[in-house]
Each structure stands twice: as structure tokens, then as C-alpha cells.
Chains A and B, each alone.
Chain A
Amino acid sequence: MPVDFQMDGPIPGENFTSDTKNYAWHRPPEHTTTDSAIEFISKSLMREEAMASAIFMMEMGIDIVTLTDIYLTKGISEGKWSVDLAILLAGPVAHIFVILAKGYDIPVNLGVKKNFNAPTPAFFNAMKKEKKKLEKDKTKAVREDVADMVTNQPMGFMAGMPEEGPMEPPMPEEEESMPMEGMM
């Protein structure tokens, strides 16, 4: 017998019975003005780990708008600012990311113009051809290298011997006692 789940919905007013301070975004945000939020953002972005990850993502080709979106969404989830303030902060935060990118000589990709081009079958065919060509070139280059190695190798059983006479056995080096004090 099919069970009707329509009766499982919340009772009107049920939201008022739950604890509203369970999540950070249920409480008043930490920053309510753009200035205090920007001060916090610039300080947090100057931390080594935050800066390194931002630079890495920009270097990988992620645009500034996406980075800004990630950063501001994280701030909302941590209760740093409200959604409305996040939208106001988007511009200044994007500008900070631009300055950061310029400081590290990363080409700026703002991402304001949405230009997503879905790959077509022609694109995939061209990629396959290019891959095959690359593999062919690679194997050809390896073969040439091996051929060079074989032709340039000196012939004869004495070829491997050094020119400065017979080799002497290595003298045993005197073992110096390592001072272990101060290592730990």
C-alpha cells in the first residue's frame, strides 16, 4: 500500500519552536558595515595560507568573480556578514583579489562576462587527433634518442674503462665521531 508523505511536512509555526541559534547565520553577523568587513577581509587574506590558496586558484585559471563568490559564501556560513552585505562587498573584495593577482604577475581574469562554451563533438575530435599526433611525436623522439645513444656509444670491451690507468680501491675514510649533543 503506498504511503502518502504529504502529511510529513512541517506544521505552520514549527520554525518558531526550534532553537534559532544553532547556526552562525542565525545570529547577528559580526560585521554590519562595509568598512569593518573590508578591514577584516584584507587582514584575513594577508594570512599566508589564505593568500597561497587564492594565488593557486587564480594561477589555475579560476576567475575573480568565482573566487569572490566562494570567499563571501564562506563568510556568510561563518556568520561574518549577512547575505545583503555580502552582495555589497563583492566589488571591493574582487578589487582586493585583482590587486593580489597583479602583485604576483598573474593575468587577471575578472569573469564578469559569462562566456561558457559547451564543448562540441568537433572539439573532442580535434582533441583526439591532437593527442594521437602528440603520442606519435613522443615515440618518434624517444626512438631517435635511443638511436643516438647506441650510435654514440664507444665500442669494444675496454670502452667502459677510465683513461687514467687502473682504478685503485677507495681508501676507507676515517670515521669522525659526530657530536650528538645539542641535536635534540
Chain B
Amino acid sequence: MEFEEAIRRSVEAYFKGMEPERLHKQGKGRVKYNKKYFDRFESEKFSGPTITEELEKGKVK
């Protein structure tokens, strides 16, 4: 697999909920900058749906 393809799949997996924190069984609660953190930051800074919500609705590809 090419590196670019790996990155694409990793980004897709991240926005579907498979973030680095969840890839390790002992990682839960140890990662500070997880998806929840970025989602909260995004919703606090900008009005409207977050990128995760937009992806779920199929507005962003």
C-alpha cells in the first residue's frame, strides 16, 4: 500500500471513530488530544455542525 493511501484510510478511520486512543487497549484516557478534544474545540469555536456531523450527513467528501 502506498503511503498516501495509508494516510487516506487513516483519516477516514479517524473520522469514523477509530482514533489513535482506541487502537491500544491501554490507550484509553491516556491521550490528551483525542477526537473528543478536537470536536469540542471545533464546536466551541464555530457555530454549525462539526466536520464529523457533516461527514455523517454526507455533506463533505
| Residue B42 lies at the interface, judged by CB distance under 8 Å to chain A | yes
- B61 near A103 (CB under 8 angstroms)? no
Tell me which residues across on chain B come within 8 A of A59, comparing CB atoms: none
Q: How large is the interface on B (under 10, 10 to 19, 20 to 34, 35 or more residues)?
A: 20 to 34
- B38 near A68 (CB under 8 angstroms)? no
Q: How large is the interface on A (under 10, 10 to 19, 20 to 34, 35 or more residues)?
A: 20 to 34
| Residue A54 lies at the interface, judged by CB distance under 8 Å to chain B | no
- A69 near B7 (CB under 8 angstroms)? yes
Say what secondary structure dominates the interface of chain B: helix
Total cross-chain contacts (CB, 8 A): 93
For A66, A86, A95, which residue has the most chain B Cβ atoms within 10 angstroms? A95
| Residue A34 lies at the interface, judged by CB distance under 8 Å to chain B | yes
| Residue A46 lies at the interface, judged by CB distance under 8 Å to chain B | no
- A102 near B42 (CB under 8 angstroms)? yes
Chain A: minimal CB distance from B55 (Å):
7
Say yes or no: A64-B45 contact (C-beta < 8 A), given A92-B38, A110-B51, A113-B61: no
Tell me which residues across on chain B come within 8 A of A35, comparing CB atoms: 31-33
- A112 near B38 (CB under 8 angstroms)? no
B-contacting residues, A91-119, CB 8 Å: 91-92, 94-96, 98-99, 102-103, 108-115
Tell me which residues across on chain A come within 8 A of B15, comparing CB atoms: 91, 94, 110, 112
| Residue A65 lies at the interface, judged by CB distance under 8 Å to chain B | yes
- B11 near A65 (CB under 8 angstroms)? yes
| Residue A57 lies at the interface, judged by CB distance under 8 Å to chain B | no
A-B contact pairs, 7 of them (CB 8 A): A86-B7, A87-B6, A91-B13, A91-B19, A92-B38, A96-B38, A115-B61
